[in-house]
Chains A and B, each alone.
Chain A
Amino acid sequence: MGCPENSSWTGCLKDAGRRVFSGGPVYLFFLGLFAALLVAGVAAGIHSVYIVGSRHAYGTTREIPLAMLIATYTFFVITSTGLCLVSSIGHIFGVERFMPIAKRAVLLSVITIMSGFLVIGLELENPLRLAVYLFCSPNFTSNIWWMGVLYAFEVVLLILEFIFLLLDKHKASVAAGLLGILFGIAAISNLGGVFAMLNGREFWYGPYLPIFFIASALLMGCAAVIFFTVLAYRVHREPLDRPMADALATVGKLAGVMLAVNLFFTIWRMVTLAVGGTHELLVRDALVSGPFAFNFWALEVGLGMILPFALILWSAGKRIGPIFLASALVIFSSFFVRLDMVVAGQIVPLYWELGVREYAKLNAYSPTGHEILVVLAGVGLTGAAFLLGEKVFQGFREVEDAGSRFAEVLEDAAQELPSAEKGKVDGSP
């Protein structure tokens, strides 16, 4: 589709640009900061993989080949699926209180999944081969193959769902959303399966991770909805309106339930590790009192479960401040939950049981500056896209009230495609 000077697309993009640039110094500072992180992270990733080689730039080794970038990828895609699930409660399953969060949550779901793809794209040694051989040389027994295909479908469905939501095409958005949920859950449990089906890695092996990832996604979805919605109202410099405050309070209660569920997942995980084989015991010791103890007790359990749960209880399901803080803590902590899960699964040397000199110490991993920058690229993409989305779609409110120009343009385009009634587009403001 062309974009002549006087077309509605150009006009609406100009409007969006004006809204972005009139966002105020704080807004523009953060937008610039996130954009800078994105650029720096992408540059670091390209430098790592294509110039110096990931062996030199990343902290991964033969012994720990999957590390922070894989953890970050799982962090983003679990968040994405969670957002998709939480958004569906309202606009697909008809729970009124969840309705106000739907559009923002679906857009954030698209943004976070794209951030995950960005990070994994900068982790893979040969991502272009993936684009070719995923289709030309598929391995149907591979979880990664299924995950790739399912997430590809999910992205398309999420984008369609978002467009239909903007156009207020309820049935179409429900259909796309419902399929999105199915693909999302299948994809995320497959992501768990990537680890869970490696029976040489006893900490990962078994049905725990695919199920835990789904529970974890729901928690992350709740946390992300609350966190980004409160920030969105700050971006627009407006107080939360009543329906949104009620929606967030309800999402906060669901977050509380999911926190309890995740807490019990963790408790039973640790209890079963305590009676496992040598590998499981070594991992448990590493988590409880070894090199991962700070991450586990302080970041995962303290900041990620107990404190958020206490804050949600303290909020009495009403006060948004503590619920927001709890959400921020859950998001922050969940990054370390992913990191610990990925790395701890590889710390026990593969020939440990032989008692040989070469495999006598637990494997260690430290992230490099390049890896941290690539993580920040994902954060930058999410942050910048969120801030832009808020301005472009005007906080998702005018769309509902008077109909934004974006929605109108999309609608016109949708009508134009089959009937080729060109005049309609030209005639729109």
Chain B
Amino acid sequence: MIIKSLDKEKMMKNPEKISEMDRREFLKIGLVITGVFAGGSIVSVASAAEKIFPNGSIAEKYPYRPHYCMVIRVDRCIGCRRCVEGCVAANAVPSYGWRTLVLEREARQAIGQKREFIPVLCNQCNNPPCVRACPVTATYKDPQNGIVMMDNRKCIGCKICLAACPYDARYYNEERGAVDKCDFCFETRLSRGEKSTACQAACPADVRVFGDLSDSQSRVYRLVHQLQKPVWVLKKDTDAKPNIFYTKG
């Protein structure tokens, strides 16, 4: 993991002692920053980096243009699941599968609110295990926008990508004759000029914020690159470098 090899804590304590090699590696964090989490330290890393390097240099290093991502503000989610319905309607998701789901956690001992909802979907990872595992490149990372796409014609149905995905984001779609997954509605919306995903558009509480992480003016950029609220990703240990961020507020 790049962040480990950089010895991040040491670097943060002594930024003036960063060698040229470290400096170059640190810039690369911009490429992989989406996989870094430590209870809000993603924000610290990004902000500290921007103190060291000129404004915007991190953003320039995001590997895709647009670098699509989604920020999920979990505490806003009311569990209405209109996002799931919107996704099903937009992408013809069959009853036996799902592209996005809203998970429910109960904490009976908690003071006040005792239930929490956690929307999940394909994390469009920068280092996607499913893409590495597929023997015939039926699933691939789009070189333009970074979305993990499916080429249905090539899918042999071995389902190794289902086993490889740490986010349970894939299922075999009988009608398509291929594995199906969230593509940020690229096929049904983005490629037709829409600017939002179906789940985002259907959400009444503005939980899901979709946008371009490489655009410093975008909402997602501002939600990720701030110090006030923690931002985290799921399953950071797999080092898949996901592009779905979670925050509150």
* Residues of A in contact with B (beta carbons under 8 Å apart): 53-55, 60, 62-63, 65-66, 124-127, 129-130, 133-134, 137-139, 141-145, 148, 194, 197-201, 346, 349-351, 354-359
Q: How far is the CA of A55 from the CA of B134 in the complex (A)?
A: 20
Most-contacted residue by chain B among A126, A134, A144 (CB, 10 A): A126
Cβ distance A228 to chain B, nearest Cβ, rounded Å:
30
If the complex has contacts A144-B133, A144-B135, A357-B103, are A126 and B156 also in contact, measured as CB distance less than 8 A? yes
Interface segment out of the listed B46-54, B159-167, B204-212, B214-222:
B159-167
User: Once A and B bind, how many residue pairs between them come within 8 Å at the CB atom?
Assistant: 129
CB <8 Å contact, A137 and B137: yes
Chain B residues contacting A346 (CB-CB under 8 Å) are 163
CB-nearest residue of chain B to A60: B159
Query: CB < 8 Å: which of B97, B154, B164 contacts A62?
Result: B97
CB <8 Å contact, B104 and A358: yes
CB <8 Å contact, B177 and A63: no
B195 within 8 A of A: no
| 26 A-B pairs in the complex with CB atoms less than 8 angstroms apart | A62-B97, A62-B171, A124-B156, A125-B158, A126-B155, A126-B156, A126-B157, A129-B153, A129-B156, A130-B135, A133-B156, A138-B137, A139-B134, A139-B136, A142-B135, A143-B133, A144-B158, A145-B135, A145-B136, A194-B133, A197-B133, A200-B238, A351-B103, A351-B120, A355-B105, A356-B104
Query: CB < 8 Å: which of A55, A144, A201, A357 contacts B105?
Result: A357
- Give the total of B residues in contact with A, Cβ under 8 Å: 43
CB <8 Å contact, B156 and A125: yes
- Residues from 201 to 240 in B contacting A, C-beta threshold 8 Å: 234-235, 238-240
Q: How far is the CA of A358 from the CA of B136 in the complex (A)?
A: 32
Dominant secondary structure of chain B at its interface with chain A: loop
Query: CB < 8 Å: which of A63, A200, A351, A357 contacts B164?
Result: A200
Q: In the A-B complex, list the 10 residue pairs whose CB atoms are closest, starting with the nearest.
A: A125-B157, A200-B166, A133-B136, A65-B159, A145-B135, A356-B103, A144-B135, A65-B162, A350-B168, A130-B156
B7 within 8 A of A: no
Chain A residues contacting B135 (CB-CB under 8 Å) are 130, 133-134, 138-139, 142, 144-145, 148
Cβ distance A131 to chain B, nearest Cβ, rounded Å:
9
Q: How far is the CA of A134 from the CA of B136 in the complex (A)?
A: 6
